[in-house]
Amino acid sequence: MKMNWKKFLTLTTILTVLFAAPVYAEDDDSSVLESYNRAMFNFNSAADYYVIKPAAKGYRAITTEFIRERVHNFFGNLKEPASMINHTLQGNIVDSGKSLGRFAINSTLGLLGTFDVAGGWGLKNNATGFDKTLAAWCVPDGPFIVLPILGPSTPRATVGLAADTTADPLYWAGYYAHFGNDLEKYSFYYGLSALGFVSLREEKIEFIDKLTENSVDVYSTIKSAYIQNRLKIGSCASKDTQTADASYDFDFEDDE
C-alpha cells in the first residue's frame, strides 16, 4: 500500500514527541543533536544565500507593495480553516466561529482572500494551529531541531505544521483535481506553496538581516530567539513557560 508522505511525517514526529517528552525546547542540545542542527543550519543558510533570498529579492523587484499585500492576504486566508478547527479543539467555540466567518467573507467578498473585508467589519484575525492545540493538551515541546529548508522547529511544532497542512484548501484542491498523474495533480499545490514561501521570505528580508548582521554565532542567535518565542505559547507540560518573559519579540510563530 502506498503511504501518504504527510501521514508518515506526522506519525514519525508524534513518536519523536513521545520519546522526547522529558526534554523541553529551552534545554541545551545534546552534543549529537547540536551537531546535526548546526550541519542542517549551515545547509539551510547556503540554500537561503544562493537560492531563496535572491528569489525573494527578485519577487520584490518585479512586484509592487500592493500586489505583495494581496498575495500575503491570500495565503493568510488559507490558514483560516486550520484556525477554525484548532479553536474548536482548544474549546474556543466563539473564535472558531469567527475564523469560519472570516474565511467565508474574505473568500467571497474579499476576492479569494486578497482583501481582508472581514477585518474591516470587526472580525480580526486570531490565527492558531495544531501546535498550540497540542500545547493546550499538555504535550511537551521536545528538543530544538532544525528542519531542511523550513528551519528552526521542535517535534511538536513539526507535528503541528504537518497537521495544519492537511487543513489547507489548496492541498485538497490539488488532491481532488483531475489533472491526470500525481505530478500534474500536485504541481498546482506545490507551485502556489512555493510562492507563499518566497512571499514570506520577502517579508522577512530586513528582519533576518538585522537579526544576524552583528552575530558572532548566527546559529545560537537564531536558536535563542526561536526558543524565547516558543515560551510565549506555553504548555502545562513545560517548565516555567507560563510566566517566562521573552527577551526577543520576533514572533516567529505568527508566520510558521
Could you tell me if residue 14 is inside a domain? yes
Q: Quick one: pLDDT at residue 233?
A: 82
Round to whole Å and give the CA distance between 139 and 251: 21
Which residues in the chain show pLDDT less than 50? 1-3, 5, 17-27, 29, 238-254
Residue 254 DSSP class = G
**Does the pTM of the predicted model rise above 0.85?**
no
The residue count for the chain:
256
Could you tell me if residue 101 is inside a domain? no
Q: Cβ distance 237 to 139 under 8 Å? A: yes
Q: Quick one: pLDDT at residue 196?
A: 94
**Is the alpha carbon torsion for 110, 111, 113, 115 positive or negative?**
negative
Number of domains in the chain: 1
HSE (side-chain half, CA atoms, 13 Å) at 40? 17
Torsional class of 251: left (φ above 0), alpha (ψ -120 to 50), beta (otherwise) = left
Could you tell me if residue 79 is inside a domain? no
Round to whole Å and give the CA distance between 185 and 45: 31
Could you tell me if residue 109 is inside a domain? no
Could you tell me if residue 231 is inside a domain? yes
Q: Quick one: pLDDT at residue 11?
A: 54
**Is the alpha carbon torsion for 16, 18, 19, 23 positive or negative?**
positive
Domain that holds residue 52: 5-18+47-62+129-255
Q: Quick one: pLDDT at residue 240?
A: 45
Q: Quick one: pLDDT at residue 248?
A: 40
Q: Give the cell for residue 13.
A: 514526529
